């Protein structure tokens, strides 16, 4: 069986708004609802990490529509929110997804689940088309080989016992991570399987990302 952790406790400060990113509306619907709807038929349970002060509001929004959803108190950092959810996960496989990526496709979800079952871990990645420079201050230090560098997306899939072990060790050692698979790297796990991600699976971080998201929704409505 499969569980899903939806991470959405961030304040969304880079969006320049006064509400958490999860509660930003696209086409009059809260951002976190898009991910719930996309994953709902694939999982047994959804652990939704949100700011504690928005728990009651989220329950009112969800009401009786999504019985699989369990709302969990988010932490100060993303990894704290995931850790809080992991402690409640009992299923064999867990997917971890950022609410800020509302356009994940069913096809990508299926691919990640399939390869997680086979390899124990699966993450979606994208090739980089731009040149990549490492800087020192405002000056170029060197040019990196973009053929060896990839952008990482979510959802990321894990055998539950494996990602729990990685998180427990890293939390104890106070290691700060940049994504979930990073914690497996830190404990020496070297078999993180990758599948091709999707260009439309954008992460909403800045105000212009919201504008692009609205454009995508309108485009798909006309298709």
**Which one, of 157, 154, 36, 160, lies nearest residue 87 by Cα?**
160
* Segment 165-176 mean pLDDT: 95
**Domain interval for residue 163:** 2-222
* Segment 49-72 mean pLDDT: 90
* Segment 70-93 mean pLDDT: 95
Q: Which of 43-47, 51-55, 150-154 has the lowest mean pLDDT?
A: 51-55
* Segment 121-128 mean pLDDT: 97
Report the CATH number that the domain containing residue 169 is assigned in CATH: 3.90.550.10
Name the band, by pLDDT with cuts 50, 70 and 90, for residue 223: low
* Distance, CA of 59 to CA of 22 (rounded, Å): 13
Number of folded domains that form the chain: 1
The pLDDT tens digits of the residues spanning 179-217 come to 999 999 999 998 999 999 999 999 998 989 988 898 888
Name the band, by pLDDT with cuts 50, 70 and 90, for residue 9: confident
- Pairing state of beta strands 121-127 and 156-159? antiparallel
* Distance, CA of 110 to CA of 112 (rounded, Å): 6
**How is residue 85 written in tokens?**
């959810």
- Tell me, what's the pLDDT at 127? 96
Name the band, by pLDDT with cuts 50, 70 and 90, for residue 161: very high
Q: Specify the higher pLDDT residue, 63 or 102.
A: 102
Q: Specify the higher pLDDT residue, 116 or 222.
A: 116
Answer whether 185's CB lies under 8 Å from 75's CB.
no
């Amino acid at each position: 069986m499969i569980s899903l952790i939806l991470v959405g406790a961030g304040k969304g400060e880079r969006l320049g708004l006064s509400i958490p990113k999860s509660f930003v509306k696209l086409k009059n619907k809260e951002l976190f609802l898009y991910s719930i709807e996309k994953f709902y038929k694939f999982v047994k349970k959804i652990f939704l990490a949100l700011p504690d002060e928005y728990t009651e509001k989220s329950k009112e929004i969800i009401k009786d529509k999504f019985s699989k959803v369990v709302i969990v108190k988010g932490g100060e950092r993303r990894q704290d929110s995931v850790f809080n959810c992991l402690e409640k996960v009992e299923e064999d496989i867990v997917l971890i997804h950022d609410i800020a990526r509302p356009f994940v496709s069913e096809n990508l979800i299926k691919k990640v689940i399939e390869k997680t079952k086979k390899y124990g871990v699966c993450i979606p990645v994208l090739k980089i088309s731009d040149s990549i420079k490492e800087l020192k201050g405002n000056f170029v230090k060197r040019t990196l080989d973009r053929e060896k560098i990839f952008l990482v997306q979510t959802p990321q899939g894990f055998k539950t016992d494996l990602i729990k072990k990685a998180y427990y060790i890293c939390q104890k050692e106070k290691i700060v991570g940049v994504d979930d698979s990073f914690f497996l790297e830190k404990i020496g796990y070297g078999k993180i399987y990758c599948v091709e991600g999707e260009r439309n699976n954008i992460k909403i971080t800045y105000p212009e990302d919201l504008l692009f998201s609205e454009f995508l929704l309108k485009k798909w409505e006309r298709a």
